[in-house]
Amino acid sequence: MNFRLRLIFFILMLCAMFFGFLHLFVEGGHTRNFERLHIFLFNLCSGGTIIIYYSAGGRRFNREPVLFLAMGILYTLFAFFEFYIPAVTVSLSMAVLVERARWKRFSPFPWNFFTPRGPISEKFHQSALLCLSLGLIISSLVILNNEYFKFISMKKLILNTFFLGFSFPVSLISLSVMFSYIGERTTKGMLVLKNACFWAVNLGVIIFFLFILIEIPVAQIMVTALLFISVIVIFVIFKRESGPTQEKVFLTSGMLFLVFTAISGISYIVTQYFFTSPVHDGAGNFSKILLKVHAFASLYGWNLSGLAVISRKDNFPIKLNLSWVIFLHWITVLILAPLGYYRQFFSVIAMISYALLLYHIFFSREKKKKGV
């Protein structure tokens, strides 16, 4: 990825974090949909565009990624200002574009999902594209249902619930990148284990969303526990089967963020459904803070790690102090950003820290290759 493209994503991701804090600086900010700008600019505009770019070969920023990014920004603005008919039109057009990219790279039907010996990285890659297009279609249907037709009435069937689903394609493409660093030569048992992890992650998230909609907390905890076990297994496979590279360090840190989000997710469900009541205000406040930490860890921890590796894939190894960058990443995501959501002072510190982090990720120079 060339300098100009990295600059575009640097600005988009910086703006995403900025809108996450803007409610503190605008009168009546808590009543506005800044959360949509915060999520869309990172997951949909940055993450979705990088997925399309990566699917096209990751060499040139050709027509498809440019068009997806332009439509993604339009969709973000339409959703923020609640112009729902234009939002639905753009969303469905984006879904067509994603499917076109998927068909060019793979096939209309995901046959490789059912091929035991097919590369797991390719399965996660196609799954990311399919999830992205389905997410755009389903969010459009939710908009039409909630704003116009009202066929289904459910407490959790709201736009913001489904908008959070745009994080999942980014997570899947990060898993695809991870498995691309794992050798395909493997035993039959390892092959079965890898495929089991693929299905556990994909089906687990779908089932988890269904249990959120129908509000069954015990089932949510059980599915989250299954996802947690799958993440641990993938982490162990990655640590054992991949070579010692800078990319591995980035992705290992990202996987630790993912493990953290699994634990924080289970903790949130338990606190929210079993300890929060009008009598226990403290538990309610704790669950809100925990949810915010969980959201930042997922969005700017795990997802950012995968997107960083894709963005610099052709540049590794790069000149940076990895230990310092990873320390800065964790401090920013788990401490400064959650505090910044509630206090202006910390939001400014978090923005500075996040900008430094992105600068090192996107603009650190390549190391000279041996013999060059």
Query: Whose structure tokens read 């540049």?
Result: 315
Q: Which tokens hold the place of 26?
A: 């605008």
Residues 6+ apart with CB under 8 A from 6: 311, 362, 363
Query: DSSP secondary-structure letter at 59?
Result: S
Nearest-angstrom CA–CA distance, 240 and 229:
17
pLDDT at 200: 93
Q: Angle at CA 62, nearest 5°, toward 309 and 134?
A: 70
Nearest-angstrom CA–CA distance, 39 and 132:
14
**Of 268, 196, 256, 262, the residue nearest 224 (C-alpha):** 262
Question: What phi and psi, each to the nearest 5 degrees, are found at residue 334?
Answer: -90, -20
**How many residues does this entry show for the chain?**
372
- Does the model's pTM come out above 0.85? yes
Q: Which tokens hold the place of 211?
A: 């249990």
pLDDT at 368: 62
The answer to whether the CB of 124 falls within 8 A of the CB of 179 is yes
Nearest-angstrom CA–CA distance, 51 and 310:
9
pLDDT at 244: 78
Question: What phi and psi, each to the nearest 5 degrees, are found at residue 319?
Answer: -85, 105
pLDDT tens track, the chain, 372 positions:
788 888 999 999 999 999 999 999 988 777 777 888 888 899 999 999 999 999 987 666 678 889 999 999 999 999 888 899 999 999 999 999 999 999 999 989 999 999 888 889 999 999 999 999 999 998 899 889 888 887 877 776 676 666 677 889 999 999 999 898 886 666 788 888 899 999 999 998 888 888 877 878 888 888 888 989 999 999 998 888 877 788 888 899 999 999 999 888 888 888 877 765 544 555 557 778 888 888 899 889 988 998 999 988 888 788 888 889 999 999 999 999 999 999 999 999 999 999 999 999 999 887 765 444
Residues 6+ apart with CB under 8 A from 108: none
In a 10 Å sphere around its CB, with 0-12 CB exposed, 13-18 middle and 19+ buried, how is residue 279 labelled? exposed
The answer to whether the CB of 39 falls within 8 A of the CB of 164 is yes
Residues 6+ apart with CB under 8 A from 44: 72, 75, 76, 166
The answer to whether the CB of 161 falls within 8 A of the CB of 212 is yes
pLDDT at 279: 46
Q: Which tokens hold the place of 237?
A: 């496979």
